[in-house]
Structure 1
Amino acid sequence: MNESVLPDIDGGLRQAALPADGLGDLRANAAGVFWLAADPATGSRQLWHWVGDRARPLTPPELDVTSRVNGYGGGTHACLGDTVTFVAGDHQMLYRQPLTGGDAQPWWSQPDTRYGGLVADPQRRRLLAVEEKGSARQATQCLVALHDDGRVVLAEGADFYDAPALSPDGQRLAWVEWALPHMPWQRAHLVIADLDPDGHIERRRVWDGGGAVTQPCFADDGSLIVISDHRGWWQPYRINGDAAQPLGDHPADHVSTPWQLGECHHLWPHRHTGLLMRFHEGSAGVLQVDGQGREHRRLLPDATRVIGLAMADGWLYAITQGPSHAARLARVRLDDGHQETLFALPTPDDLPSPTYVSVPLSDGEHVTAFVYLPATAAGTLPPLIMRVHGGPTAASYPVFDPLVRWWTHQGYAVADLNPRGSGNFGRAFRERLAGQWGRLDVEDATVMADELVARRWADPQRLFLRGQSAGGFTVLNTLASTRRFRAGASLYGVTDALRLASQTHRFESGYLDWLLGDDEAKHEASPVNRLGDFAAPVIFFQGARDAVVLPDQTLSMAAALRRQGLEAEVVLFPDEGHGIRHPANRRRLIARELAFFAAHGGDTS
């Protein structure tokens, strides 16, 4: 199958290239609602504003609103008075955009410095932010306050900072800190500081539950709620001095794995009402609870992924996805439950429906996936594309994804795998991968493929595997461990763990020790050192500007496979980093990948 003659069902290839989660970074206050939306033509992110019952783009399209702190960003904007400040582009300059019109103006920048996690301090007319200075593994972070007259360092000395939250009266500040070699979902603590009238820290204390904390949030009455997983699940707690009062005891995660700054998955309008996310079987819902965390009602019932929550003037605002809708901004009036959709990405008809599949393993654990089946002739078994998410602590969700729809329209079944180590299933499930990456995830991919074949949902002779970043590592190790899959696609995937550990950015510089162990273990688990075990062809996709998985990893692996006499195709994108964002590049990737699978037994024409 040739890329130039791929069928384009109802504009399907163009639709498939759209990001599934093209909205994010939601904020709301008296000035309106603010969020990011990806431009379908360029992939760059613009800041949008909802006010006066209409949505409008606020920032100029040539400025990509994005933070690069920790490599994954987040918390890119904050509204202060009649202006909104945002972080833009590769240079990470802070701009000010008037809400009443006019051009965005440069406001703050420092050489080789990145900003994220922006929060407004309206009483002092300043912004709070996580500041990261320096490149790659030499970077340092601090928590700063920025104002027209200069910069004040509020906290320094920790390796990493996140989630600055200011009390309603402006007298207390809370944030999260953690230290290498940990990631923020492994070990992180809460810091609570008293501020003097000028905003300087007078006293600070630490609350450490023995696990990881995330997303501190002040209620309107000034009480502080934080999400902690020290009892095995990401659950909300009200902090009173050194004591933590649990707000409910439901055994479920209430936030996703914190890869980005400034995320918000719970809100507490006052002591007697909470709004929070909760997972069940990998699907997220939005709940309204009482002051003790007891469920009152479910909101936005068709949503199965919650990207962000915000609150203003008695309305809950939420960016969500679901099986029947692409990313959208909706709001719910809390006094009567009235729901409105304010902004939405296009959602076509004839969407494939996800089926939740959970397969028990011999040790009492389980592996799960969301499976989508194409329309096929009676008695015909479709080829299967199994998709492995990145992280590996990220997760797959049962939501409309334009790419999944495209694949099912081409006659493929799709399985979105959540192997052990994935987020949203509790701390024990997430930590099960410690020292076992490249082993348990490979076992899980194989077990799920066997299950779908046994159910006659997939042709056992036409199984394909694809994964991005950490998922690419799973793809390559699976191809080296089993002959079940006909071919694989690695999207900016890890090939040499030992080399990656010495080259990757500071945020993840200690992560591979936890996932794999010592240098010998990293060497043994690296696909580049298992070349003799490969038999299936592989296609690699790589951004030339990737600072997480350096391009040389992909190029070296492909060259080594070719020296072994194996087929290894490389598609390099000169203008992309860790992830393929530009729609034209995404269309090229999707077409090349499908043509590759079709050429190796997946042709459904």
Structure 2
Amino acid sequence: MASKIVAPFGTWESEINTELFSKGNCKAITEQLPGHGGFYWIEQSLSGKRELYFKTLTEPAVRWAPNQSVQNSVHEYGGGSFALTREGGVIYSTNEGVYEQSEATATPILLACGEGGTKRFADFDVFKNFIYCVCEVHTKDEVENKLVVIDRFSKRQTTFACGADFYANPRVNKKGTKIVWMEWNHNNMPWDETIIKVANVSEEGNVSSEEVFRSGVGENINYQGPQWVGDEIYLSHDASGYWNIYNTNFFTKEREESNMFYIHKDIGLPLWQFGDRRFSSNGTTMVFFMDQNIYLQRGEAIIDLETEGYNTFSHVSLIDNNMMCCIASGPAKPSTLLRVNFTRRPILTDVIRTSVDDGLINPEDISLPKTIKFKSDGFDVTGYFYAPTNSKYTGEEGVLPPVILLGHGGPTAAANQGIDLRKQYFTSRGFAIYDVNYRGSTGDGSQFRNSLKSKWGVVDRDDMILAAQMLVEKKLVNPDQVCIKGSSAGGYLLLSCIQHSDVFKAAVSLYGVADLIGLVKDTHKFEKGYNITLLGKFPEEIKTYEERSPINHIDKIQCPIAFMHGKEDTVVPVSQSVEMYEKLKARGVTTALMLFENEGHGFRGVDAMKDSVEGTYYFLCKAIGIEPTGTSKMEIVNLK
């Protein structure tokens, strides 16, 4: 083996470049459902479209919904964009409305018009001639969310649940006689206090006589993900302090619930998008995702399926007693539609579709994460540390690498260990990465998740500062080259961090929040109550908003910082990044601004992804005294 080239950290040449962003099969697989003898999935194409495909184990993939992008923007984040009919067809949504396609070569039929984007549909369930789904109606003055049933033949739409602020998960039982759903009201988010309701369904598709099945209102309990399994309703709730799975026979008088697997781990998720599933059951067999593993339950037996190389899962679906499928990824495994056969040992997995084929990336260039925990106010905080890794280069002896701390968005979300080429872009050039699940993140129980309530910008900030200090104390990173990067809520987090600590030497904010008052006034309906939960009542507690708004503390920022934002962002107004940039520029702080045409909250286009990653690398290098190996379109002002 040839000896490695010794070169300063951050300057290594790497084969993991931004051109790889446009060389895979797709960006990611975002939704999946098994059925009709095969597998359906939506993948985000390299151009940003959401394309629907079907494939059997033996036949090549066939695209459905030709020339259409199968997606929706209910709650602005979408998800739950298609469902299967019993006759072999598909129901799906686009920005134009709801379509039915009977077979891959058939012409799609418009069932419900989107009316220029003012009417949006998501989270479908189909029984015979009827489609049950979430409908979001936008008018000039307000947004209304409701549940509707669409007649597949007459195209008539009938509202069957309204009045609550939000709805999700309408699911009809196998007999077609009952429907269950989830609803909640401001100021709750779908991971806070929710209600599960059940109603009757007639042969004509009419829904009536709704009743409350479970309510967490006033009890601080979150109920989510209801599914029918025969006469039983399966769902997750966190009354124990953790999302566990429970089942109840709805048709018994007592309706007593049973915990399917009591554990101090979360088996649930924050419902940012419709359609995800962390568990699936047929009554005798259940599969579920928990703590980086997929588990099989039969009776009292719980078996770790040990899917080698994969540790991040979503959209879990049981096919039969012997097989399941899901979307999976791992530290060296890209987004993959996976079939798992658990009748054999070792477990047999079939790759139905992968976003990146083997061979595109040299495995020796991939940095594998190491879990590093630390204490913060009595809580165990977890982060994933990625050391600089390159098959051809190594750092200078006795020199520590630069590091980028990552603050995930949400903030009610979590970092995972699925491979991300953006991280590998940096680690293969000689940067370390530390991806932190600060307080408020999901996966570690309700107390950890709820510890951010009213303390956004405080406890998460303290965790990130402690994380940076811990890495320095452990002599894992260069104390003069500690950087921080975050998007959306993570952007707000880093702005708070650099105002309260000098441990960070450079920062990059992607569509981050800077003005909390502007956010609460301008944000969309789904997150209106979120700000109140995280910060306090508005305007009664306006002082809290003012005190925690980075825009009001420009004088405290000395750290070089770059801003990146999409001009079409409907979640965090682009004006927030522009104003921060202009004020810092006027004060002489090293800063930069990149704005992206036709991009919203999150960069979807390949060009935006390339430019933002290259710009981040270029800016951080310049700010911490590293000569970058590449160029960027970014213009830095006040560079010292």
- Tell me if both proteins adopt one fold, taking TM over 0.5 as the criterion: yes
SS in structure 2 opposite 1:342?
strand
Residue pairs, 1:323-362, within 5 angstroms:
323-336=331-344, 337-346=347-356, 348=361, 349-350=363-364, 351-361=366-376
Given the superposition, is the C-alpha separation of residues 76 and 405 from structure 1 closer, same or farther in structure 2, using an over 3 Å criterion?
same
Stretch of structure 1 that moved more, 149-158 or 526-535: 149-158
Read off the aligned partner of 1:367 and give its amino acid letter.
Answer: V
Residue pairs, 1:284-323, within 5 angstroms:
284-291=292-299, 294-313=301-320, 314-323=322-331
Select which of 213, 222, 225 maps to 1:215. Answer: 225
Q: Is the 8 A contact 1:383 1:412 kept in 2?
A: yes
State the superposition RMSD in angstroms: 2.1
Aligned to 2:638: none
Pairwise CA distance, 1:213: 1.1
Question: 1 CA distance for matches of 2:102 and 2:448?
Answer: 46
Stretch of structure 1 that moved more, 347-356 or 446-455: 347-356
Question: 2 CA distance for matches of 1:470 and 1:331?
Answer: 34
Aligned to 2:417: 398
Select which of 123, 131, 135 maps to 2:135. Answer: 131
Given the superposition, is the C-alpha separation of residues 55 and 432 from structure 1 closer, same or farther in structure 2, using an over 3 Å criterion?
farther
| Cα deviations by residue, 1:342-399 (Å, 9 ceiling, x for unpaired) | 11122522221101011012x3112221000014333221100111100001110122
Read off the aligned partner of 1:236 and give its amino acid letter.
Answer: I
Given the superposition, is the C-alpha separation of residues 388 and 17 from structure 1 closer, same or farther in structure 2, using an over 3 Å criterion?
farther
Question: 1 CA distance for matches of 2:52 and 2:62?
Answer: 6
SS in structure 2 opposite 1:10?
coil
Pairwise CA distance, 1:120: 1.7
- Find out whether 1:276 has 2:300 as its counterpart: no
Pairwise CA distance, 1:430: 0.5
Question: 1 CA distance for matches of 2:490 and 2:509?
Answer: 8
Pairwise CA distance, 1:531: 0.7
SS in structure 1 opposite 2:423?
helix
Can you give the 5+ residue segments of structure 1 that lack an aligned partner in the other structure? 1-5
Question: 1 CA distance for matches of 2:141 and 2:563?
Answer: 26
Given the superposition, is the C-alpha separation of residues 110 and 36 from structure 1 closer, same or farther in structure 2, using an over 3 Å criterion?
closer
Read off the aligned partner of 1:23 and give its amino acid letter.
Answer: I
Stretch of structure 1 that moved more, 189-198 or 319-328: 189-198
Pairwise CA distance, 1:7: 8.2
Q: Is the 8 A contact 1:82 1:100 kept in 2?
A: no
Aligned to 1:77: 82
Stretch of structure 1 that moved more, 248-257 or 465-474: 248-257
Question: 1 CA distance for matches of 2:547 and 2:139?
Answer: 29
Select which of 599, 609, 616 maps to 1:576. Answer: 599
- Find out whether 1:566 has 2:589 as its counterpart: yes
Given the superposition, is the C-alpha separation of residues 455 and 61 from structure 1 closer, same or farther in structure 2, using an over 3 Å criterion?
farther
Read off the aligned partner of 2:340 and give its amino acid letter.
Answer: V
Question: 1 CA distance for matches of 2:72 and 2:507?
Answer: 32
Pairwise CA distance, 1:136: 8.4
Question: 2 CA distance for matches of 1:442 and 1:17?
Answer: 35
Question: 1 CA distance for matches of 2:109 and 2:205?
Answer: 26
- Find out whether 1:250 has 2:250 as its counterpart: no
Question: 2 CA distance for matches of 1:519 and 1:189?
Answer: 30
Pairwise CA distance, 1:204: 2.4
Read off the aligned partner of 2:375 and give its amino acid letter.
Answer: P
Select which of 11, 15, 20 maps to 1:10. Answer: 15
Q: Is the 8 A contact 2:63 2:104 kept in 1?
A: no
Pairwise CA distance, 1:14: 2.1
SS in structure 2 opposite 1:54?
coil
Aligned to 2:637: none
Can you give the 5+ residue segments of structure 2 that lack an aligned partner in the other structure? 1-10, 390-394, 630-640
Q: Is the 8 A contact 2:134 2:147 kept in 1?
A: yes
TM-score (norm 1): 0.93
Pairwise CA distance, 1:547: 0.5
Given the superposition, is the C-alpha separation of residues 83 and 575 from structure 1 closer, same or farther in structure 2, using an over 3 Å criterion?
same
Stretch of structure 1 that moved more, 66-75 or 595-604: 595-604
TM-score (norm 2): 0.88
Question: 2 CA distance for matches of 1:110 and 1:407?
Answer: 42
Stretch of structure 1 that moved more, 170-179 or 202-211: 202-211
Pairwise CA distance, 1:53: 2.3
SS in structure 2 opposite 1:566?
coil
Moved over 4 A (4+): 16-21
Q: Is the 8 A contact 1:92 1:115 kept in 2?
A: no
Q: Is the 8 A contact 2:12 2:428 kept in 1?
A: no
Given the superposition, is the C-alpha separation of residues 539 and 563 from structure 1 closer, same or farther in structure 2, using an over 3 Å criterion?
same
